[in-house]
Amino acid sequence: MDETRKHQVSLRGSSVKEITRDALLEKVSQERELRNYARRANAAALFIQRVWRRYKVTKMVALQLQEEWETLVNRNADGMTGTWISNAVLRPFLFFTACLSVRHQKIQIRDINCMKTCFRILLESLNSTDIKKNFCSLATSTLEERRVWTFQARKLISLCLFILSEFNKSHAGGQDIIVLTSLAMRLVVFLTDLKGWKSITGDNHQDSDRAVKDLVWFMGSGKSGIYISIRRYITTLDVSVSSQINSVVPTDDKILITASAITLALRPFHMINLDVNGPAILDVHNAAEQYCVFLLTIPWLVQRLPSILIPALKHKSILSPCFQTILILKEKILTKMSEMDQSEIHASSKVIPPVGWALANIICLATGSGNDSVDPGWFIQGLDYASYVHVVITLAENFLGWLENVGWMRKEKQDDIIDVSAEPIDTILHETETMYGSAEISYMDMFRPISQQWHLKNLLAIMNADSHTQSAETVPPNNIERSEKFELLDIAFFYSYMLRIFSVLNPTFGSLPVLNMLSFTPGFLVNLWGALESILFPRNSHITESNHHLCISKNSGKEKDGGFVKKQKGANKDGSNKWVNVLNKFTGKSQSGSDYRDVIEGHPRPSPVNEDSSNEWDIEPLRSGPQGISKDLTCLLHLFCATYSHLLLILDDIEFYEKQVPFTLEQQQRIASMLNTLVYNGFSNGIGRQNRPLMDSAIRCLHLMYERDCRHQFCPPVLWLSPATKNRPPIAVAARTHEVFSANLRTDDALTIRSMGSIITTTPHVFPFEERVEMFREFIKMDKASRKMAGEVSGPGSQSVEIVVRRGHIVEDGFQQLNSLGSRLKSSIHVSFVSECGLPEAGLDYGGLSKEFLTDITKAAFSPEYGLFSQTSTSDRLLIPNASARYLENGIQMIEFLGRVVGKALYEGILLDYSFSHVFVQKLLGRYSFLDELSTLDPELYRNLIYVKHYDGDVKELSLDFTVTEESFGQRHVIELKSGGKDVSVTNENKMQYVHAIADYKLNRQILPFSNAFYRGLIDLISPSWLKLFNASEVNQLLSGGNHDIDVDDLKNNTRYTGGYSQGSRTIKIFWEVIRDFEPKERCMLLKFVTSCSRAPLLGFKHLQPTFTIHKVACDLPIWATIGGQDVERLPSASTCYNTLKLPTYKRPSTLKAKLLYAISSNAGFELS
């Protein structure tokens, strides 16, 4: 038999076509599934029929009972007893209302009348003093009647709360539903208030009390749905916001309903306080939990309720159990808040989640606000401050997590590196401004107490007065897990989270209101630094056991005690190899056997720094960055950095250096070292999402400290270099990784490249200045190589620009011929000069005349007489754009062209003889200038503003207003510093605003059009990221060279001799003797004569290209010319294109000196040749 027929089965004999076994099994399985499906379908149909028949029959019975009930009630209006009400009225009533209204979640019109009738009967019965007629008398009767009464009373409460929840859905605004809801609330209030029972006697008081408590516990247990119903009702009330006016005036019935609802919501709390030893004390957190989840999360809870009801919500008997419950059951409560049905949340919840509303409502309820400056605000009486702060911290942390998740969903595709020039990172949900703009503003208004000084002062006073005790009324149960002490760390967490929330949700001012308050609260910043100093500098201050735990994270790793130390030791060992691995991945080399010399041939290793002095400023607890410190220390650092960076903006130099407030200069050095170590290691070890707020504030504070030190040094230079002393990468590696920083790399490379790129762009000062200059040159070298690969530079002389320039019109000719080139100015320029006599000057330009052209054009254009630039009134006479340049023909375009000229000089490594004002360079670096920098621009104006700032009398006596006067071409222009400024007098209240407005105008607004124009020209040749390696003074040094003198020994060691001269030649020996005797100015003139630039290269003469050369010019003279007679009459000459000095063979030093001085003072190019 063949193989196929072997596995076939005959179903009906050989006459029927046979099928395979697998096909048979599949067919049987399909038929079985069809039969099962048919059975399930039949069962489902039968079930649906039964349900429908049951519903139909139940509805018919309910309607029939309702008709009979109406007839019965109308016929027996008088003579109703409590027993008859229970049996004949309530039993059918509860049945048909449950079937016709509750089950459908909708109150029918016919049911409204029935409910009103029933509730009136019950209220009349409850008000009766006749025990037989009083319905509540059944609560103290026989056991069976008590059971029935309890069941019916609970059902009535549930029905009344259902009516409350349907208030806005059923016949919204109709008078009938208002009356019904009012009756329902009155009934529940009567039932749950022992004072309202008229049937109480001395014998049954205890039973009555037990029955009332049973109902109250029922409401608080959650089975009644009281808090959900009250939530639904309150959300229908109008919000009273400053930007809105209630269009509907609440009626007496509505006020009664609202008051009854709040009374019922608070009744379980009052019962807890009245009977703390009762059997239901185990349910103490049940009502508080529901209250927190459903009521405290209502948007604008306080703003919706009548002001007369607010004190009840603010009472300590309500807030204290809520605070304790949140702290004990925080995980459960936060989970419930996050799982709340979004359909029940107010429309604005598309922006703010329930936990956000709970946070805002708690702040409103725990504080009060005054209407004047004398009594600006207060905490409610008897508030447990520690619980309040811990609750706010708990909710704020969860709220920030939600904000971060929503915000980062939009940022995941962006670069992970922090943009240090941007505002704080958590900007999110801008659709709020268009969809619910006024609502967002009012939401942040609920946080107003946080930004007021009384709030922080009260917390500090409580912390200082009694940090170990708590109010006896608010002592938490033994199982509550929170700190027994109210410490500075709690306040730090509180305001750290508040800063982040304000920065995200305050669309106008960000965290500015809180920062203003924190910065000017006396002693707060000093206290923060004291806590940090004791942790980070234990050798300088006593470290306490309570602070020691802040260093070692209890939530950042289980192995902190041992692993943390191991990580520190390994970091320095592996740090330097990381950069080698990066370059190896670019070049394809293996790691084994390679070191820095093998990686980058010809590039020196980082400059050695005294290890002992650098270790002093490398803070050990911060060597792993934010990832290696505890959550507590992160919080302290974040709050300190954010607050101090804000204070630094307005702290003038007198306060900083002379008065030394708030910190001494020694403390400022420690702060700078802390920030420097934290930021550097943060980028070196990677930045987690949770550490971005800390890094943002630390970077901002570090930049302000560093810029102040650059302007007026208070830190030793080694401090800024210390974090990178041991693992600083080689120059070429740093430059190349910076250039590929934003390129698409593999995932395993990306983190290392990003972190290194961030170090270079954010903290370039950790590299010595010389290394950054080499890095800058490396960038230009790479740019030239890429241009050559792109075909822009294909050979010698190609793509060059030929220009002819008249000596007397060098600026105009240069502008006309070069301004339109843009970035093509990177190509070589061949210059032909026309002398003032109109004759072409002799010589070929191999680079020397183009250097001379750049030097001469800047000399003419930067001259104050030309009108484009002026000099500052300081002693160093630095260049600043002239405010009148805007009125000159092509003034702005000329300044843009000069930006290209300066860019060309930087690109070619040509030094210029001019330096710019610190303020102007700050603008080129994209940095904002503040008050103290005015001293570098206009010292007299700065002194006057400081005088106004510290003026003790009435500033009105000075007759100042918010204007500034400018003078140009004999005309005076009055400029308003603010809208209507000429009509606004400067007073003691606004003098700070005036001082900073003047400074802002002089330092930023006035100079901005010119700096923007210069910047546009500059970046055609120089990338902005290259310039940001340097501070303002270093940019000037990069442009104009080092000291205004020459290192003769360095020049001598890097000089080449040709034409027969050697180092031992008599004329050469005389030359170096004469040069040493020159004045510094004369040596600079010599250098300019030979190289067309008066300053030495930044890194020494070994970097001068071509090499400085002295060429022999032979002259026949007798040997006795050395002792008398006639010496060589020929003058020295120079070939600037080759950096060559053509020196005749002078025999006497006096002759050489005289001839050389004459030549270098003639200001001619090749004409002396």
Mean confidence (pLDDT) of the chain: 80
pLDDT at position 754 over 60 = no
- Give the CA distances from residue 1045 to residues 588, 774, 1095, in Å, rounded to whole numbers and listed in that order: 45, 22, 7
Which pLDDT value is given to residue 558? 37
Residue 40 token pair = 């399930």
> pLDDT (tens digit, 9 = 90+) per residue, 47-79?
999 988 888 888 888 888 888 888 888 877 666
Which pLDDT value is given to residue 1035? 93
Which pLDDT value is given to residue 828? 84
pLDDT category at 363 given cuts 50, 70, 90 is very high
Distance separating alpha carbons of residues 10 and 324, to the nearest angstrom? 79
Torsion angle of the four alpha carbons 125, 127, 133, 135, in this order, in degrees rounded to the nearest 10:
60
For residue 415, which amino acid is it? Answer: D
Mean pLDDT of 618-633: 90
Distance separating alpha carbons of residues 703 and 763, to the nearest angstrom? 8
Q: In this predicted structure, which of 508-522, 832-846, 922-936 has the lowest mean pLDDT?
A: 832-846
Distance separating alpha carbons of residues 1106 and 1155, to the nearest angstrom? 25
Which pLDDT value is given to residue 588? 40
Which pLDDT value is given to residue 850? 77
The secondary element (H helix, E strand) that includes residue 318 is helix 316-328
Higher-scoring residue by pLDDT: 107, 864: 864
For the chain, what percent of residues have pLDDT higher than 70? 78
Mean pLDDT of 904-931: 89
Q: In this predicted structure, which of 218-232, 581-595, 825-839, 1126-1140 has the lowest mean pLDDT?
A: 581-595
For residue 338, which amino acid is it? Answer: S
Other beta carbons within 10 Å of 1078: 19
Mean pLDDT of 162-168: 85
1009 upstream amide cis, omega within 30 of 0: no
Phi-psi region of 181 (alpha: psi -120 to 50; beta: other; left: phi over 0): alpha
The percent of the chain in helix, strand and coil, each rounded to the nearest 5, is: 60, 5, 35
Name the residue among 492, 285, 518, 296 with its Cα closest to residue 395. 296
* Helix ranges, 722-824 (H): 731-739, 747-762, 769-789, 810-818
pLDDT at position 450 over 90 = yes
Which pLDDT value is given to residue 853? 84
Higher-scoring residue by pLDDT: 909, 153: 153
Greatest extent of the chain over all pairs of C-alpha atoms, in Å: 155
Mean pLDDT of 493-511: 91
Which pLDDT value is given to residue 400? 92
Which pLDDT value is given to residue 1100? 85
Q: Would you say 363 and 347 are in contact if contact means Cβ atoms under 8 Å apart? A: no
Mean pLDDT of 103-127: 86
For residue 729, which amino acid is it? Answer: P
Catalytic, out of 635, 701, 1093, 1137: 1137
> pLDDT (tens digit, 9 = 90+) per residue, 729-748?
777 777 776 666 544 444 34
- Give the CA distances from residue 562 to residues 539, 549, 567, in Å, rounded to whole numbers and listed in that order: 22, 14, 9
Q: Would you say 442 and 241 are in contact if contact means Cβ atoms under 8 Å apart? A: yes
The position carrying tokens 């669309």 is 507
Higher-scoring residue by pLDDT: 425, 925: 925
Mean pLDDT of 953-972: 86
Determine the distance from the C-alpha atom of residue 111 to the mean position of all C-alpha atoms in its chain, rounded to a whole number.
57
For the chain, what percent of residues have pLDDT higher than 90? 38
Other beta carbons within 10 Å of 885: 21
| DSSP three-state, residue 990 | coil
Residue 1132 token pair = 């020295």
Q: In this predicted structure, which of 399-413, 635-649, 969-983, 1081-1095 has the lowest mean pLDDT?
A: 399-413
pLDDT category at 971 given cuts 50, 70, 90 is confident
Q: Please tell me what DSSP assigns to residue 348.
A: G
| DSSP three-state, residue 854 | helix
Mean pLDDT of 451-464: 92
| DSSP three-state, residue 387 | helix
Residue 830 token pair = 């061949």
> pLDDT (tens digit, 9 = 90+) per residue, 518-576?
999 999 999 999 999 999 988 665 444 444 444 444 344 333 333 333 334 444 444 44
Q: Would you say 185 and 193 are in contact if contact means Cβ atoms under 8 Å apart? A: no
Mean pLDDT of 214-229: 88
pLDDT at position 509 over 50 = yes
pLDDT at position 947 over 80 = yes
Phi-psi region of 959 (alpha: psi -120 to 50; beta: other; left: phi over 0): left
Q: Please tell me what DSSP assigns to residue 610.
A: -
For residue 1120, which amino acid is it? Answer: W
Which pLDDT value is given to residue 1041? 79
Strand partners, 972: 967
Distance separating alpha carbons of residues 846 and 857, to the nearest angstrom? 18
Q: In this predicted structure, which of 321-325, 964-968, 1004-1008 has the lowest mean pLDDT?
A: 964-968
pLDDT category at 274 given cuts 50, 70, 90 is low
Strand partners, 1108: 1055
Q: In this predicted structure, which of 427-441, 766-780, 831-845, 1000-1014 has the lowest mean pLDDT?
A: 427-441
For residue 1137, indicate whether it is catalytic.
yes
Residue 806 token pair = 């008249």
Which pLDDT value is given to residue 616? 79
Q: For residue 1160, report the phi and psi dihedrals to the nearest 5 degrees.
A: -75, -15
- The DSSP annotation for 225-239 comes to -HHHHHHHHHTTSPP
Going by their DSSP bridges, the two strands 1055-1058 and 1108-1113 should be labelled as: parallel
pLDDT at position 962 over 90 = yes
Name the residue among 308, 300, 182 with its Cα closest to residue 251. 182
Q: Would you say 66 and 114 are in contact if contact means Cβ atoms under 8 Å apart? A: yes
Which pLDDT value is given to residue 231? 93
Question: SS3 for 1062-1127, per residue?
Answer: CCCCHHHHHHHHHHHHCCHHHHHHHHHHHHCCCCCCCCCHHHCCCCEEEEEECCCCCHHHHCCCCC
Which pLDDT value is given to residue 350? 52
Distance separating alpha carbons of residues 194 and 53, to the nearest angstrom? 44
Over its C-alpha atoms, the chain yields an Rg (Å, rounded) of 43
Which pLDDT value is given to residue 12? 53
Q: At what angle do helices 488-505 and 631-650 cross, to 10 degrees?
A: 60
Q: Please tell me what DSSP assigns to residue 656.
A: I
- Give the CA distances from residue 628 to residues 39, 523, 572, 752, in Å, rounded to whole numbers and listed in that order: 64, 29, 15, 18
Higher-scoring residue by pLDDT: 196, 560: 196
Torsion angle of the four alpha carbons 81, 87, 89, 92, in this order, in degrees rounded to the nearest 10:
180
pLDDT at position 1169 over 70 = no
Q: Please tell me what DSSP assigns to residue 958.
A: G
> pLDDT (tens digit, 9 = 90+) per residue, 997-1055?
999 999 999 999 999 999 999 999 999 989 989 999 999 989 887 777 788 999 999 99
Residues near 383 by beta carbon (within 8 Å), at least 6 away in sequence: 316, 319, 366
> pLDDT (tens digit, 9 = 90+) per residue, 406-445?
764 344 334 333 333 333 333 333 333 333 344 445 788 8
Mean pLDDT of 105-123: 86
> pLDDT (tens digit, 9 = 90+) per residue, 1089-1121?
887 777 788 888 888 877 899 999 887 665 555
